[in-house]
Amino acid sequence: MTLQQTHKTALKMAGVVVFMGAMAWAAVPFYDWFCRVTGFGGTTGQAVAGSDVILDKTIKIRFDGSIERDFPWTFKPVQREVEIRIGETGLAFYEATNNSDRPVAGTASYNVAPYSAGGYFTKIDCFCFEMQVLQPGETVSMPVTFYVDPEITEDNDAKFAKVITLSYTFHETDLPEEYAALDAETPGTADQN
């Protein structure tokens, strides 16, 4: 193999490595976009307002809540189930309590089952859109506003869903700087300075 062939091979291999790195970097945002557009994996849609069409057909929505291991909150739905008309705007509440002696930040991941209904379950507003910070011992009520898109009745797989389950899992997140600074202060520290 000549020196020129060796350089060509090295350049091709470097190109392959760069291409593979770029594809790995783009995979997460592309997959997220794909799930949001198609509802794949139970990913829900988002809207700024409710549906213009409300059908006479009803559907049950069940609510589920959990926390990651060692997360110091309790988290649960206030009501386990509602029945709404397809296209009607629904409102549900979850309750969270920080059981620790420090401020704790959390973010909620979510999904919808059955997966075929995920793209038709549309959130208008949700606590899961932003990080939540609870002070020690604090209990909060967190709303989610949603509707089931009437187009679900035209989908060959999703139209047979009688019950949709909305599940959330809270995960601990790093405290924002303003809370972390407050957490670092201990009583009496200001007197010692």
CA 51 to chain centre: 21
pLDDT tens, 59-107?
999 999 999 999 999 999 999 999 999 999 999 999 999 999 999 999 9
| Coarse DSSP helix, strand, coil percentages of the chain, rounded to the nearest 5 percent | 35, 35, 30
The three-point CA angle 134-36-31 to 5° equals 100
Q: What is the CATH number of the domain that holds 51?
A: 2.60.370.10
pLDDT for 72:
96
Higher pLDDT, 126 or 47: 126
3-state helix/strand/coil string of 9-30: HHHHHHHHHHHHHHHHHHHHHH
Cα–Cα distance measured from residue 157 to residue 143, given in angstroms and rounded to the nearest whole number: 29
* Percentage above 70 pLDDT, the chain: 77
Q: In this model, does residue 188 exceed pLDDT 60?
A: no
% of the chain at pLDDT higher than 90:
50
**pTM, 2 dp:** 0.68
Whether 22 and 107 share a structural domain: no
Distance CA 25, CA 69 (A): 28
Band (pLDDT 50/70/90 cuts) for residue 4 is confident
In this predicted structure, the answer to whether residue 119 has a pLDDT above a threshold of 90 is no
Which pLDDT belongs to residue 17?
Answer: 82
Q: Do both 165 and 117 map to the same domain?
A: yes
Mean pLDDT of 130-148: 95
Q: What does the pLDDT read at residue 193?
A: 41
- Where does the pLDDT of residue 185 fall: very low under 50, low under 70, confident under 90, or very high at 90 and above? low
The number of folded domains in the chain is: 2
Domain annotation covers residue 193: no
Asked if 67 and 33 sit in the same domain, the reply is: no
Q: Clarify whether residues 68 and 22 are in a common domain.
A: no
Cα gap 1→132, rounded to integer Å: 61
Tell me the residue range of the domain where 17 lies.
1-38
